[in-house]
Structure 1
Amino acid sequence: MRWAGRGALGRLAMNLASWFAPPYFARRALARFHPRGYIAPTATLYHRHFTSGAHVFLGDRTLLYQDHQGGPIRLGDRVHLYGEDCLQTGAGGSIDIASDTHIQPRCQFSAYRGSIHIGSNVQIAPNCAFYAYAHEVKAGQIIREQPLVSKGGITIGDDVWLGCNVIVLDGAVIGSGAVIGAGAVVSGNIPPGAIAVGVPARVVKYRT
């Protein structure tokens, strides 16, 4: 892993290292061996403005995609993307994920017009989706041809836990220490330390 990196030689070194490691979660150890972290051979980095901290883990079939005029993707130290996660930025959007946040497989992050900001030590369960934009829906025009709009993007504080299949929509603010139950849809403000469930997500109690 001493030769690890994003270039051709670095990717080859990580590919060779993966031959001797068990799959999936077990490969997290490879990210700890070198500050450049571990990028799975099947991960795709189609992004010119991607930066990351030390010991970042990008699992199998992770995709980082930059659309036309897309903003940066920044991952803090020890961020883990466990596989088949998609992070994409378009015009006016960026994605910032702070240190020690772990994202389970098959999560989608789409930052167009608005940006996505996720704090540190956040735990995101599988199949969650984050959309920092919406389509206009005026009558008389095909929806896919209408412009994208944003209410300010998505902000998630530190030490937040999102259960499976949570959807977070543009304009949502989730305070530090909050817990969002599986299958919830968040479109507004969830206070710090709150536990919220349902569609739309409503606070049912607070952590004690």
Structure 2
Amino acid sequence: MMQKLNRKIVNLFWKLYCYKVLKAICRKGDNIDIKLPITIVNPKNLTLHSDTYIGPEAWISAHANVEFDSGVIIGPRLKIYTANHNYLNDVAIPYDGVTILKKVTIGKNTWIGGDVIILPGINIGEGVVVGGGSVVTKNIPDHAIVGGNPAQIIKYRDVELYNKLKEEDKIYLKLKTNNKIDFSTKYD
């Protein structure tokens, strides 16, 4: 009985902490859906544009700026790093006391699968798909589909179809919010 009560108290404090963090995000667009729990270091450095979804258990280290353009969908357990130690020095090993900060940008209408890790300084282009479990160590060009550790380009989206859907404003989270999308299951 006491263990159950303790668990409820811990969950309540965790939810309060998460809501406090979410309120601290300075720049937010419309139609933002963030699932709890979430950890954001320096939420004032996080910019979320409209029609963005972040899955549960995301961990975003926004020591430097992190920007999600509109239409971004993030799977569960995303990790974003914006800081690193300086190992290229003549002061100490394995690194000195300098922290190197680099912005991370995620382009418009990008889908990032579950358990993805994004390293400092990465720019992910528009319409990109990042496969689950990938480690993004280099910039990704527009419309690329990537996967692996380190993430490699597998192929590219059909750009003509992508542009047609974008022109028609068929953005997943907008359609979902307005109940204009079919949620049936398809098996291959």
TM-score range, shorter chain: 0.5 to 0.7
Select the structure with the greater relative contact order (CA < 8 A; seq sep ≥ 6): 2
In 2, Cα distance between equivalents of 1:146 and 1:62: 33
Q: 2:32 aligns with which of 72, 79, 89?
A: 79
Deviations 1:42-67 (A, max 9, x none): 232xxxxxxxxxxxxxxxx45628xx
Residue 73 of structure 2 aligns with an amino acid whose one-letter code is Q
In 1, Cα distance between equivalents of 2:95 and 2:28: 31
What is residue 205 of structure 1 aligned with on the other side?
155
Q: Decide which structure has greater helix share.
A: 2
Change in CA separation of 1:43 and 1:154 when aligned onto 2, cut-off 3 Å: same
Unaligned runs of 5+ in 1: 1-40, 45-60, 66-70
Q: Is the 8 A contact 1:186 1:200 kept in 2?
A: yes
Matched, 1:172 2:122: yes
Structure label with greater radius of gyration:
2
> How many Å apart are 1:89 and its aligned residue?
1.3
Q: Is the 8 A contact 1:85 1:105 kept in 2?
A: yes
In 2, Cα distance between equivalents of 1:177 and 1:87: 24
Deviations 1:36-92 (A, max 9, x none): xxxxx9232xxxxxxxxxxxxxxxx45628xxxxx96322111111101111218xx
**Deviating more after overlay: 132-141 vs 181-190:** 132-141
Matched, 1:105 2:105: no
Matched, 1:127 2:61: no
Q: How many residues are paired up?
A: 145
Q: TM-score, normalised by structure 2?
A: 0.68
> How many Å apart are 1:144 and its aligned residue?
8.1
Matched, 1:42 2:8: no
Aligned ranges 1:55-94 → 2 under 5 Å: 61=18, 64=21, 73-89=26-42, 94=45
Q: Decide which structure has greater strand share.
A: 1
In 1, Cα distance between equivalents of 2:51 and 2:39: 18
Residue 84 of structure 1 aligns with an amino acid whose one-letter code is P
- Kindly report structure 1 stretches of 4+ aligned residues shifted beyond 4 Å: 142-145
In 1, Cα distance between equivalents of 2:31 and 2:92: 45
Name the SS for the 2:145 alignment partner: strand
Name the SS for the 2:41 alignment partner: strand
Residue 21 of structure 2 aligns with an amino acid whose one-letter code is L
Taking only aligned residues, the RMSD between alpha carbons, in angstroms, comes to 2.8
Unaligned runs of 5+ in 2: 1-13, 159-188
Change in CA separation of 1:73 and 1:167 when aligned onto 2, cut-off 3 Å: farther
